[in-house]
Amino acid sequence: MSGRIPNNIFLIGLMGAGKTTVGKLIAKNLGKTFYDTDHVIEQRTGVKIPTIFELEGEEGFRKRETAMLEELGQQDNIVLATGGGAIIAPENRVLLKQYGYVIYLRANVNELYLRTRNDKNRPLLQNVDVKAKLEQLFHARNPLYTETADLIVDTGHQPVAVIIQKIESALQALESTCKP
């Protein structure tokens, strides 16, 4: 660590963790450019994420996601909200660790459920028992988020402003402890 607020900040975590919401605000506060892999994929393809899943399957979506991480990883001074599955592929985990400071927004399944249960834009949560699916994803992915993260922030049952405060304090502590 160079002793500064990290240049690129990547947010990881399950669907509903708040990556997109928190990422936008953190970027604004830190004067960094905000990207969201899902939004860029939607802009480039001209269709929503569920349509990509319908036409190309999850496999097709994952290829686009990896390509997007490779591309956005080359950017400078950004906050990137990833999609919840961005840590599945080992090469993505390497990319994330290599090109940025990775923050895992960790939330419990109940909280994630409350935030995502009515959402129509997350194909993995349609026509299933949403809570059971989130539980399954939590068990499969929590170790991957944990191994990829430089920092873990529990979002718990807390307002977005509090989470942002936690992240900014942690980044500031990083800055002060690393200065010569």
Ligand X SMILES: Nc1ncnc2c1ncn2[C@@H]1O[C@H](COP(=O)(O)OP(=O)(O)O)[C@@H](O)[C@H]1O
Ligand Y SMILES: O=C(O)C1=C[C@@H](OP(=O)(O)O)[C@@H](O)[C@H](O)C1
Nearer to ligand X, 43 or 177 (CB): 43
The answer to whether residues 22 and 105 touch, using CB atoms and an 8 Å cutoff, is yes
Q: Answer yes or no whether residue 158 interacts with ligand Y by CB under 6 A.
A: no
64 is in an annotated binding site: no
Q: Answer yes or no whether residue 85 interacts with ligand Y by CB under 6 A.
A: yes
Give the C-alpha separation, 168 to 174, whole Å.
Answer: 10
The answer to whether residues 141 and 14 touch, using CB atoms and an 8 Å cutoff, is yes
141 is in an annotated binding site: yes
Give the C-alpha separation, 10 to 97, whole Å.
Answer: 9
Q: Which of 8, 10, 19, 164 binds ligand Y (CB under 6 A)?
A: 19
Residues with Cβ within 8 Å of 36's Cβ and at least 6 positions away in sequence, in order, are 19, 20, 23, 80, 81
Q: How far is the CB of 173 from Mg ion (least distance, A)?
A: 26
The answer to whether residues 15 and 114 touch, using CB atoms and an 8 Å cutoff, is no
Put residue 80 in one of left, alpha, beta given phi > 0 → left and psi -120 to 50 → alpha: beta
Q: Answer yes or no whether residue 122 interacts with ligand Y by CB under 6 A.
A: yes
Q: How far is the CB of 72 from ligand Y (least distance, A)?
A: 14
Applying the rule CB under 5 A, the residues between 20 and 79 that interact with Mg ion are 20
The answer to whether residues 96 and 102 touch, using CB atoms and an 8 Å cutoff, is yes
Contact track, ligand Y, 40-59, x by CB under 6 A = ---------x----------
Give the C-alpha separation, 153 to 68, whole Å.
Answer: 25
21 is in an annotated binding site: yes
Residue 123 binds which entry of ligand Y, ligand X, Mg ion, none, CB below 5-8 Å type-dependent: ligand Y
Region of 24-32, 94-102, 119-127, 153-161 interacting with ligand Y (CB under 6 A): 119-127
Nearer to Mg ion, 19 or 106 (CB): 19
Q: Answer yes or no whether residue 124 interacts with ligand Y by CB under 6 A.
A: yes
Binding site for ligand X (CB under 6 A): 13, 15-21, 81, 115, 155, 158-160, 163
